[in-house]
């Protein structure tokens, strides 16, 4: 017996059920990035939650979970994550959940398929979803790359982020650099302060570029992921998390310099692998990263329904 339950908030017991499902998926797929304790990852926060329960009575278990971001991305498109427990796959639960999601949304809906699995592509075809976005996961071995000392434009200096001082300056650059981006353009001071409370946050790996007037004109925020048994040999991994350059400061090599500063920092921390996420259609950025030794290791896809 299959039952769907929608909830705007999860009870503590349900949070632990969802966490167990996400951890099981991580063991099999390498995704999502979820910790045994603490809050669920940010992509699963806020309303709404769809639970797929199977079985009867006391034997009823959580076979699938979907999160629907009803607030939408920066362009008002609702975005969903859908995961079926590895022990309950190939029983039609994924298709049934997708049907429930599509039926619950009026207007545009985008659904992530992490890893671009053929099964997701088949489901998308079945439901008439279009392939709307590709997010490339690129990786490089720091031991195999000769990342040189960054060369900064005249009058520009690098320093690290100071919590409680630099939030607004970073967000001002971020807003100008990513006004086109469906997620990053919505990032604000409150979200930045919330990120500073995460266990992975490290101000020493958050580089700011200041011009001669002392104004922040760019930044490179790095991140370190804990070991994942299914990815990158089970070793910690560094990430080029966000590189942002004010449009007025672009074209002088600042983006490359910031990127190199972060890469050298991650290498100096002893991280053998570095990854980054980049839009598949951002050809200039992809070309820059390829020249720095990065190759595509995975692809995440958003399938879309509606306009």
What average pLDDT values come out for the chain (307 residues) when binned by 10 residues? 93 93 91 82 89 89 94 85 95 95 90 90 93 95 92 95 97 94 88 92 97 96 85 85 93 93 96 94 91 94 84
CA neighbor of 201 nearest in space, from 231, 234, 169, 242: 242
The predicted structure's pLDDT at residue 70:
81
Give me the sheet containing 216-225, strands edge to edge.
2-7, 49-54, 61-69, 78-84, 109-114, 295-305, 130-141, 273-279, 237-245, 216-225, 206-210, 157-160
Binding residues for acetyl-CoA: 82-84, 243-245, 250-256
In tens, the pLDDT along 173-187 reads 999 999 988 888 889
Quote the pTM value: 0.87
Binding residues: 82-84, 183, 223, 239, 243-245, 250-256, 277
CA neighbor of 302 nearest in space, from 175, 121, 95, 156: 121
- Residue 136 CB-density burial (10 A; 0-12 exposed, 13-18 middle, 19+ buried): buried
The predicted structure's pLDDT at residue 139:
95
d(CA 37, CA 244): 31
- With residue 15 as reference, give the H or E element that holds it: helix 12-29
Q: Which domains does the chain have, with CATH numbers?
A: 2-128 (3.40.630.30), 139-299 (3.40.630.30)
Asked if 291 and 193 count as a contact pair (C-beta separation under 8 A), the reply is no
């Amino acid at each position: 017996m299959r039952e769907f339950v929608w909830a705007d908030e999860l009870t503590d017991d349900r949070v632990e059920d969802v966490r167990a499902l996400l951890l099981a998926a991580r063991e099999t797929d390498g995704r999502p990035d979820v910790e045994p304790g603490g809050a669920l990852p940010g992509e699963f926060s806020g309303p709404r939650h769809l639970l797929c329960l199977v079985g009867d009575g006391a034997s009823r278990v959580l076979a699938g979970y979907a999160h629907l971001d009803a607030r939408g991305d920066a362009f008002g498109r609702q975005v969903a994550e859908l995961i079926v427990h590895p022990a309950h796959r190939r029983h039609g639960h994924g298709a049934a959940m997708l049907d429930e999601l599509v039926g619950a949304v009026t207007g545009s809906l985008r659904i992530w398929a992490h890893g671009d699995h053929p099964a997701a592509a088949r489901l998308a075809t079945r439901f008439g979803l279009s392939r709307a976005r590709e997010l490339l996961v690129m990786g490089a071995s720091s031991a195999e790359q000769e990342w040189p000392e960054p060369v900064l434009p005249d009058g520009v200096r690098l320093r690290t982020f100071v919590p409680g001082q630099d939030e607004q300056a970073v967000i001002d650059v971020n807003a100008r650099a990513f006004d086109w981006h469906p997620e990053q353009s919505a990032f604000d001071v409150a979200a930045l302060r919330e990120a500073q409370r995460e266990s992975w946050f490290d101000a020493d790996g958050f580089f700011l570029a200041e011009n001669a007037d002392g104004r922040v004109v760019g930044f490179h925020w790095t991140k370190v992921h804990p070991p994942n048994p299914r990815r990158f040999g089970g070793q910690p991994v560094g990430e080029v998390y966000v590189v942002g350059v004010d449009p007025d400061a672009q074209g002088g090599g600042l983006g490359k310099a910031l990127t190199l500063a972060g890469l050298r920092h991650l290498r100096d921390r002893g991280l053998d692998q570095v990854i980054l996420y980049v839009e598949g259609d951002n050809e200039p950025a992809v070309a820059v990263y390829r020249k720095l030794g990065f190759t595509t290791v995975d692809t995440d896809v958003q399938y879309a329904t509606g306009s």
